[in-house]
Structures are given as C-alpha cells and as structure tokens.
C-alpha cells in the first residue's frame, strides 16, 4: 500500500486530496515538523523531520514523502503528477500535450504563487500577532496581482486550466492559491479565480481532507 509521510497540517494535504479523488488507498504515517517540537532529537519524541529514521527516507528533512512499493519520492506537487499519471483517469494527462501543460502549470504554481501566498498566510493569519509584519503581507499581495491576473485569464474559457476539466493541475494550483485566501482583494479582482477555487474546494474529497485537518492539533 502507498505510504504518505506527513500530517494533515502540512503539504501532505495535496497528496491526500488527490488520493481521495482517485480512490487510491494509502497509509498516512505521521511525521511532525521538527520546528514544532522543543527538542526534536530527544528520546520518546514523535517521529519528526529531524528523526534519523525519517532522514534515511528523506535526507532533505521535509514532508511529505511517499513510499510507493519501494519507490520513494519527495516534493508534494511532483508526487501528485506521478500519482495522477500512474493511476490514470480524467485527472491525469490525456496526451503528451496535456502532460506538458500540467507540468508547466505546476511549476508555475511553485514559482509564481506559493512563495508569495505563503507570506500572505503567515503575516495575515498564521503567525502570532506580535510576529506578523503587514509590510511583508502587503508586498506579497502586490506581487501576486500579476500572476492572479494570468490565472484568471486562463480560467475564463472553461473554468479549468487544462483540458476543460478538473485535473491534478487544479489540485496543485488550488493548494498554492489557498494560502492567499487571507487577501480577499486578490479574489475580488479576479472573479474567475474566485469561482474556480470555490468550485474545487466544494468537492467532497477536499472537504473530507480539510475536516480531518481541522481535527489535528495546530
């Protein structure tokens, strides 16, 4: 059985969401981020990203990782592309052209969206109030205006970015865009992005994943 190493409160949510969409069984092996622990190397501490056992699996010390019958992969968005192509169906590329589009959009999400959207999340919501820097959040929102406009235009025709249907690309994109939800002004200015995110987040697999995420300790 596929093993996913991570937590619901991590980027493993991307892989969990996809597997639930595909109906692929998996075992979630809990691995907590070391920076959430006081002494990650101490005896009796939960398996974490600095545990020797986990570092043998992923020497980068990040989650998620997967073990798919002995094939070990890291990086959540790349894992999703692999799983979609392995299991096929409408979420996977139908041909080489779609494969290229899905890879391109995934790389775009990683470079154009996530570095800024994560700063919006941190400095408007996630960090303790005393540690938030409004200037960092505002700069991130400003940097996201152009890529949000690009995505809005791409969604205008069919409401999806590849093949006119919901695919793994939408999961990869949505999970990066989700971090920017603390900047509603971006979504108001880009109605196609707003409608698309609401649509994909209304899917049962996403809602089930988020419900389990909410049950985990923050």
pLDDT digits (tens, 9 = 90+) for 64-93: 999 999 999 999 999 999 999 999 999 999
% of the chain residues with pLDDT over 90: 93
Mean pLDDT of the chain: 95
CATH architecture assignment, domain 96-206: Up-down Bundle (1.20)
% of the chain residues with pLDDT over 70: 96
CA distance 91 to 102: 10
CATH H superfamily, domain 2-90: Glutaredoxin (3.40.30.10)
Report how far apart, in Å, the C-alpha atoms of 100 and of each of 103, 106, 137, 151, 160 are. 5, 10, 32, 17, 16
**Residue 31, number of CB atoms within 10 A of its CB:** 25
**pTM, to two decimals:** 0.94
30, 24 in Cβ contact below 8 A? no
pLDDT digits (tens, 9 = 90+) for 174-201: 999 999 999 999 999 999 999 999 999 9
pLDDT digits (tens, 9 = 90+) for 32-66: 999 888 665 544 557 899 999 999 999 999 999 99
Show me where the domains of the chain are located: 2-90, 96-206
Q: Mean pLDDT, to the nearest integer, of 27-36?
A: 92
Task: Indicate if the pLDDT at residue 142 is higher than 90.
Answer: yes
CA distance 32 to 48: 5
72, 55 in Cβ contact below 8 A? no
Residue 4 backbone dihedrals phi, psi, to 5 degrees? -110, 120
């Amino acid at each position: 059985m596929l093993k996913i190493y991570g937590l619901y409160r991590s980027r493993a949510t991307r892989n969990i969401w996809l597997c639930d969409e595909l109906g692929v069984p998996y075992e979630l092996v809990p691995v907590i981020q070391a920076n959430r622990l006081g002494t990650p190397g101490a005896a009796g501490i939960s398996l974490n990203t600095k545990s020797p056992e986990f570092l043998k699996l992923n020497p980068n010390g990040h989650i998620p990782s997967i073990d798919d019958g002995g094939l070990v992969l890291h990086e959540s968005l790349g894992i999703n592309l692999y799983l979609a192509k392995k299991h096929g169906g409408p979420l996977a590329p139908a041909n080489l052209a779609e494969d290229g589009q899905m890879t391109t959009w995934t790389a775009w999400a990683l470079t154009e969206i996530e570095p800024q959207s994560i700063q919006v999340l941190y400095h408007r919501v996630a960090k303790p109030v005393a540690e938030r820097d409004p200037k960092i959040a505002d700069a991130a929102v400003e940097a996201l205006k152009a890529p949000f406009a690009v995505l809005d235009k791409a969604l205008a025709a069919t409401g999806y970015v590849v093949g006119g249907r919901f695919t793994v690309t939408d999961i990869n994109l949505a999970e990066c865009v989700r971090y920017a939800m603390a900047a509603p002004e971006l979504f108001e200015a880009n109605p196609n992005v707003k409608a698309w995110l609401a649509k994909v987040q209304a899917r049962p697999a996403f809602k089930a994943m988020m419900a389990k995420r909410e049950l985990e300790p923050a």
